[in-house]
Amino acid sequence: MEDREYDLAFFHRHGFHRRTCAGCGHAFWTLGEFDRCQEAPCRDYGLVGHPVFARPQSPREMRETFLSFFEGRGHTRLRRYPTIARWRNDVFFTQASIYDFQPWVTSGAIPPPANPLTISQPSLRFIDLEEVGRSGRHFTEFEMMAHHAFNRPDHEVYFKERTVELCHELLTSALGADPAAFTYKEEVWEGGGNLGPSLSVGAAGLEVATLVFMEYVRDGDALKPMPLTVVDTGYGLERFTWASQGTKTAYEAVFGREYDELRRTFAPREAAILIDHARAINFLLTDGVVPSNSKEGYFARLLLRRALRILQKTPEAPELLAILDRTGRELALDFPEVGAHRDDLRRVVEAEAEKFQEAIARARQTIRRQEDRVRATGGKVTSDDLLGWYDSLGVPPDLAVEELRAPPPIPEDFYAQVAARHENEAPASDYAETTEVLPEVPASVPPTEVLYYLDPYTVSFDAHVVFADGPFVVLDRTYFYPTGGGQVTDTGHLGDASVTDVERRGPHVFHRLDAPSTVHVGDRVRGRIDPVRRTQLMQHHTATHLLNGALREVLGPHVWQAGAYKAPEAARIDITHYRALSKEELHRVDRRVNEVVRADRPVKSYFESRSEAERRFGFTLYQGGAVPGKELRIVEVEGFDVEACGGTHCTHTSEVGAISVLDVERIQDGVVRLTFASGERALDLREEHDAILKEAARRLGVPVAKLPDGIDRLLAEVEEGRKRAKERRQEDLGATAERLAADPTATETVGGVVLVVASVDLDRNGLMELSRLLTKEPGRVAILAAERDGKGTLFVGSTAPGIAAQSVVDAAKAAFAGKGGGNPAAATAVGEPGAPLRAALHDARTAARRAADS
């Protein structure tokens, strides 16, 4: 990045000078007399006891100071976004305020909700988890205060000069800091293929803010200017609060009385971890994470288990729920949604605590057993075992050590070693976008007017072709619904050609025909949508919303849609929930959802400003993922369910027809999938299932109502038959054994050993069982031969101490080219097809006699 990028008129106007930091080598701008930038490690922390700002402020006051400062300077104040970044597939959590606007707003695809804007965004970062409570300034949950501006070539809001001016005014006028206390360090920010200059604002050892100017796209080695430039700033609320108070650590300043209360029971580090985690958990659960073993759910589990472990180790510790409620109440003063649904939140936490106790109880047992085994063989438990147990059982090392009689030392770098174990794993990859490559559309082509939003019932319309390339046609207006929001595409006809797929990219809707199009730009064409398919898709989509509403009602507001798919044949919805659905719960959902269908409630679809919609309905609007933009399309089932959704919907619930849930499965920890059908399809399926039941009943010869009993009877009979066959076989074998024992040509006694030699017609298992019957007593040897499929099998069983079964078999192998082996008690060999089994039997008998004689 060239120097001129940072050479701002603002700096010159106010008498800043540019220096190079003797510590890190970065250039910086300052009014002070520094030869180093004012950030650690280039300078020590100097704010303890010497606040940077004029007046101590609580987080609440500081947030308000910040937001109203920018509001007073032309910025629109936005409410926070969810901490779970459902609108992105590259990250789990909102880690900074700019995440709210990536990728669609920053790429220019969608206009920003306000411009310029200011926000204080609760953010989650797990990278410094181990530092929480240790460093005195790290948090997993923190608020990033920001002001953002999005500049288009035709509309420049503000960029570097104004940003730095605002920042400096905030620090010095609004917060009353000494103007000479700050350094603006020159850095380069890069991310997501974009980059630009940035200024890092330091004071008293602390980096208090970062001002990023996104203006380039990396194109190989060259830099291309971005069509949209973005002001991305970040001011840490917690750091600002700390800097205003100058307390020993940030935790005293930020957590205040809550921290003092916990300090009566816990060490500073533990108290800080508990509050920090409790805040993060409150946000996570409020925003719809259910603890689980993967994805975002894992982080909720991680925090909960870490907190539980601390409480477990402390005898007079309060309940986790009490701590969560205490922090939750505090947060609710600023974020009322965190205070809602506390009972449901408690149930989620209780279920999770229970799972942890179970896991630990299981693990304890395993650890004890494994130690016993290791010690029995003269070994000892090593720190490697501790690593293994943590990885596979989830046992924290300190807990494992409690359980062991001879514990190894816990390595200092335990968690680093855990990380090392996972180093070589394949990185998590974004699932590949399988969308077909659509042709480029010239900028002159006007955007498609999408009419399906306004009227889902029109299935025939006229439009003009504005673009055509190969099988793709773009119209000036269309009623065809393109694949999106989990709803598959409409099909139908454009003129005489079949439309097989419809996709939306940017402002254009592409109709894909089954053959290269013969239409030309300017042609007027008639579009006809397959009405049966469209109706079924509408029913399935509206049914999905109804089910979601019923599930939230029955199971609790922790239920969020975690995915959905609506095809004509069936639809499915994945929801977050902490255990499998019980029969009773499913029954209640089924009843409730069909009750809402029958009640014929109106389903309204309309556009509304984002802020108004959020104010009225809250974040649960974003069941299908949060959508940035000024306007949201709202689908509202009156008094029951409201979601931001772009799909085609029925206008009354009764149009959905019956809803049948076909299948419920737990697809992963914390996620339950319901597969269902509605409308005609539900009736078709019901008929099909009915026919299957009747046919099954007919074949069993019972009435449908007696089907389960009939199956039980059938199974019992099968079991009985199996048992009887087994018994008969035992009897037959027993009879054979008796016959052989009584047959002088088969049985002889040599040197005190009873030797039975016989050819029988049995399979391998039969030979074994017969041998077992013949050798129940000690001092017996059975030599049995059988032929199956032309191959001879020789089996020898022995309870005679001097006669090893496998040596008898070995002696006979040569005679029939046999392969096999065994142990002293039993041995088998199978010969080549057609090889003389009789000779082998003879050799075996000879060998056994000789062994018995000696």
Q: Give me the residues that bind RNA (CB under 7 A), please.
A: 126, 293-295, 298, 301-302, 305, 355-356, 359, 362, 365-366, 369, 373, 388, 390-394, 415, 418-419, 421-422, 425-429, 431, 666-669, 723, 768, 771-772, 775, 797-799, 805, 819-823, 825-830
Q: Which is nearer to RNA, 56 or 836 (CB)?
A: 836
CA-to-CA distance for 539 and 535, rounded, in angstroms?
A: 6
Return the number of the residue (325 or 385) whose C-beta is nearest RNA. Answer: 385
What is the Cα–Cα distance from 579 to 558, expressed in whole angstroms? 12
- 37 burial level (CB within 10 Å; 0-12, 13-18, 19+): buried
Q: Residue 553 is encoded by which pair of tokens?
A: 């009602």
Phi, psi angles (nearest 5°) of residue 228 = -120, 125
The angle at the Cα of 672, spanning 669 to 676, to the nearest 5 degrees, equals 160
176 three-state secondary structure: coil
Closest by CA to 37, choosing from 168, 163, 203, is 203
Of the candidates 373, 408, 376, the residue with the CA atom closest to the CA atom of residue 390: 408
Please give the Cα distance from 828 to 808 (Å, whole number). Answer: 10
- Give the residue with the Cβ less far from RNA, 367 or 642: 367
Minimum Å distance from CB 102 to RNA?
17
Minimum distance between the CB of residue 789 and RNA, rounded to whole angstroms? 12
CB of 446 to RNA, least distance (A): 39
Residue closer to RNA by CB (options 89, 654) is 89
Which CB sits closer to RNA, 208 or 809? 809
For residue 647, the minimal CB distance to RNA (Å) is: 24
Q: How far is the CB of 457 from RNA (least distance, A)?
A: 37
Q: Which amino acid is at 10?
A: F
Residue reference for tokens 């003797």: 22
Q: Between vectors from CA 390 to CA 389 and to CA 392, what angle results, nearest 5°?
A: 65
Q: Least distance (Å) from RNA to the CB of residue 618? A: 26
For the CB of residue 725, give the shortest distance to RNA in the complex, in Å.
13
Distance CA 473, CA 468 (A): 4
Q: Which of 354, 731, 799 has the alpha carbon at shortest distance from 578? A: 354
By beta-carbon proximity to RNA, the closer residue of 135 and 654 is 135
Q: At its nearest, how many Å lie between RNA and the CB of residue 239?
A: 23
Nearer to RNA, 7 or 719 (CB): 719
Nearest distance, CB of residue 222 and RNA, angstroms = 30
State the Cα–Cα distance between residues 711 and 545, nearest whole angstrom.
Answer: 38
Q: Is 124 helix (H, G, I), strand (E, B) or coil?
A: strand
Nearer to RNA, 309 or 533 (CB): 309
In this complex, which beta carbon is closest to RNA, that of residue 133 or of residue 482? 133
| Minimum distance, C-beta of residue 729 to RNA, in the bound complex (Å) | 13
Report whether 711 contacts 700 (CB < 8 A). yes
Q: Rounded to the nearest whole angstrom, what is the least distance from the CB of residue 554 to RNA in the complex?
A: 21
Cβ of residue 461: shortest distance to RNA, in angstroms? 40
Q: Indicate the residue among 121 and 828 with the shorter CB distance to RNA.
A: 828
Residue 610: CB minimum distance to RNA, A: 30
Report the distance separating Cα 599 and Cα 623, nearest Å: 24
What's the Cα-to-Cα distance from 677 to each of 157, 529, 580, rounded to whole Å?
Answer: 50, 21, 20
Residue carrying the six token digits 């499965």: 665
Which amino acid, 631? E
| Residues 525, 522: Cα–Cα separation, whole Å | 9
Return the number of the residue (81 or 92) whose C-beta is nearest RNA.
92
Cβ-based nearer residue to RNA, 650 or 767: 767
d(CA 455, CA 179): 59
Nearer to RNA, 298 or 565 (CB): 298
Q: CA 593 to CA 455: how far, in whole Å?
A: 25
Q: DSSP characters for 375-422?
A: HHTT----HHHHHHHHHHH---HHHHHHH-SSPPPPPTTHHHHHHHHT
Please state the closest distance from residue 581 (CB atom) to RNA, in A.
Answer: 13
**844 closest CA partner among 834, 831, 833:** 831
- Distances 657 to 567, 599, 635, 663 between C-alpha atoms, Å: 16, 11, 18, 18
The CB-of-828 to RNA minimum distance in angstroms stands at 5
Does residue 478 contact residue 452 with C-beta atoms inside 8 Å?
yes
Angle formed at CA 418 by CA 413 and CA 420, multiple of 5 degrees: 90
> How many CB atoms within 10 Å of residue 344?
16
Residue nearer to RNA on the CB measure, 436 or 720:
720
CA dist 633 to 204, 409, 498, 762, 767, Å?
A: 48, 59, 30, 75, 76
The amino acid occupying position 255 is F
Report the nearest approach of RNA to the CB of residue 291 (Å): 9
The residue among 664 and 768 lying less far from RNA, judged by its C-beta, is: 768
Residue 396 exposed, middle or buried by CB count within 10 Å (0-12, 13-18, 19+): buried
Q: Which residues pair with 575 in a beta bridge?
A: 561, 672
Query: Residue 10 or 126: which CB sits closer to RNA?
Result: 126
Residue 667, token pair as written in the block: 């697809």
